[in-house]
Chain A
């Protein structure tokens, strides 16, 4: 099966010398739109970043490790879940397995990203992967509901991605250096949860998705006591299974059940 054609995004290297240079990416209207759509989420990203920084700074893992983790890992929930484990000296595999379960949502999203992104060169896809956050995904599918490549998608992606990246790192570093001076118990970290709640609401489309959410939420809470954050794995599996059953019950016999 042939890959879909890569949308022509104006390759910078092969431009004819007679034309004026193409405008830089940050002037691209799709890039600007991506950053603008992400702007609504930036306060929550900032709050989440500060909390992550403070948590790491106060955990006793040391400044160097906190800085390295903040600048390189670039995954708030993985950092938050790994921090107490690292501080307690848990074995490496426990830290990684726990973070893997928390990151499972990204794996699920990467399946959804595939039809949009698979036509790009490998190096581009590696760069995209580093920045493919869940917030970015929800905004992206709202703008491009059809899972096909289209011009402007890459610029739109980068607009949101760079906005997120900049705000996240400023906030996270601020949290690391402010440490104790940030009143964590005021509950600013809940802004991150509210942002994800808004994402959840955005993805609620029909009765089937409502059933899936109810099952996932219940399963995640009930299975909370499992080690390594396996409750998230259980919740996703339960919701997928429930939605298959829901589809099978609703579909008239013989029609194949496809919408």
Chain B
């Protein structure tokens, strides 16, 4: 990839990330959304995050994980369990990573 193309990619990605983050609050005017859609949009942030997270946990090289000996499954389960027990995101991360590293280095998964 030439320098110019690289520059275009960086400018394009920067502009697109900026616009997508602010799309609905950068404009002065209300961007009309159909009223019937509004109750559905309440779940959209959750759905968007879930859509990003689920494949990271459940897929391996684009295929559904077929063994229970995948440390990511247990790490995610441990992290979620911590969250609903203690309600802390730092604990979710620490607990999940502890399980992940323990299984990877302790059991060699």
Contact = CB atoms under 8 A, between A and B. Distances in A.
Interface of A: 1, 40-41, 43-44, 61-62, 64-65, 68-69, 72-75, 77-79, 82, 86-87, 89, 92, 95-96, 99-100, 102-114, 117-118, 122, 125-126, 128-130, 132-134, 137, 186-188, 190-191, 193-204, 208-209, 212-213, 215-221, 224-225, 231-232, 235-236, 238-241, 243-244, 247, 257-258
Interface of B: 1, 3, 5-14, 16-26, 28, 30, 33, 36-37, 39-59, 62, 64, 71-72, 75-76, 79-80, 83-84, 88-90, 92-94, 96-97, 100-101, 104
Given A130-B18, A201-B80, A69 B13 contact: yes
A126 B12 CA distance: 17
A96 B89 contact: no
Given A40-B90, A105-B45, A125-B26, A75 B13 contact: yes
B50 A216 contact: yes
7 shortest interchain CB distances as A-B pairs: A129-B22, A105-B48, A239-B47, A235-B51, A217-B54, A198-B89, A212-B43
Q: In terms of DSSP, what is the predominant structure of the interface of chain A?
A: helix
B62 A224 contact: yes
Contacts, number: 279
20 contacts: A41-B93, A69-B9, A78-B16, A92-B8, A100-B20, A110-B21, A111-B33, A114-B24, A129-B22, A193-B53, A193-B76, A195-B92, A198-B83, A201-B80, A208-B43, A212-B43, A213-B47, A221-B55, A231-B55, A244-B37
